[in-house]
Amino acid sequence: MTLQIRAIKLLTAAVLIAGFNGAFASDVRPITPAEPTEPTVENLMAISGLKASLDGLPSQMVDMLFGNMPKSVPDEAKRALGKAYAEAYPPESLSKAITAGLKGKLDPSKVPTLMRVASSPIALKMTQLENTKPKEEELQAFAASLSSKPPKPERVRLIKELLDTSQNVDTLATMIAATQESVAQATSSGCADDRKRIHDEFAKAKPAIRQATYVMQMSGLLFVYRSATDDELGRYIDTYRDRDSKALHTVLNQLIAQEYLSRWKTFEKTLIQFGGDLSDRSMFSKSCRSRASAAGATIAAIGAGPADIRRERKSSPVRDARECLKLEDSRKTMACAERFR
């Protein structure tokens, strides 16, 4: 019924708790009775906090994926990647696309009910908690406290139930896996066998990625709702349980993943072009270039032309660096790869 928990907010909290250099979207002002209450999809997006979350998603994702670039990455590559990403995700483009998508799929007769629930006291309180920008020291202190003071079993049970009813884990895992594989492919040697190996590794890792996403979301939600009571969480969960709410969240999650990854494909062209700079080695290793008969097919396969082949750099033994691909996120992958340069 309500939209207060969704992929963007959960991902942001999870990323921060996990220690990335992520940041919440800019502070969202609390919803008040003076806010527009006409039962439209636009107002539902606003009062539920979904619009603000979607507007902040691109900056959160780019920081998670590229927030720790190697110092050796040239300024030219940084500027090109930043420009391409901004062009793929213009301001408010995601929220506008999702709003249009919901209009085409959501029964208009359901909107008034969804609006009433989204503007209920418990929903508004939880929305404000989800959109409150935390201080870095608060996050660090909370993360440290989890080891010495684990959450009570009842709180864990409620958070798990909230995760399950909000239907976001699979959507997030899909987005994370797809974008991280894309980065890994772009920063690889470019050889066909390397590309296949990376693809196979990510295919095998899907269950682990989903589990890691679940754990990160658990940590994030424990922080976000740390001031809420168990009773409040229980009443909040109740807002997700009816048939209309479940149908809405199913459509919503599909639209979010579809729209974000569709735009990523546009950005990916520039990512492939400058992938060698991100990994501090040439896009094409000597072993690739030595197989002249396969070179054309390899270039075509990754969408690059001869002009995209960047300056030659000495490559490290690929067989050793491949262990980095097994790590759970792109920043750890890049940090691991530093040892093999």
Encode pLDDT of 290-313 as tens digits.
433 333 343 343 333 334 333 333
Residues 73-102: tens digit of each pLDDT: 888 988 999 999 999 999 999 999 999 999
Note whether 6 and 53 are within 8 A (CB): yes
CB 122 within 8 Å of CB 236 = yes
Pick 79 or 282 by higher pLDDT. Answer: 79
Contacts of 28 (CB under 8 A, 6+ apart): 49, 52, 128, 131
pLDDT at 313: 36
What pTM does this model have?
0.70
Greatest mean pLDDT among 118-122, 148-152, 228-232 lies in 228-232
Instruction: Report, as an integer, the average pLDDT of 106-127.
Output: 90
Per-residue pLDDT at 331: 52
Q: Which residue would you say has higher pLDDT here, 336 or 269? A: 269
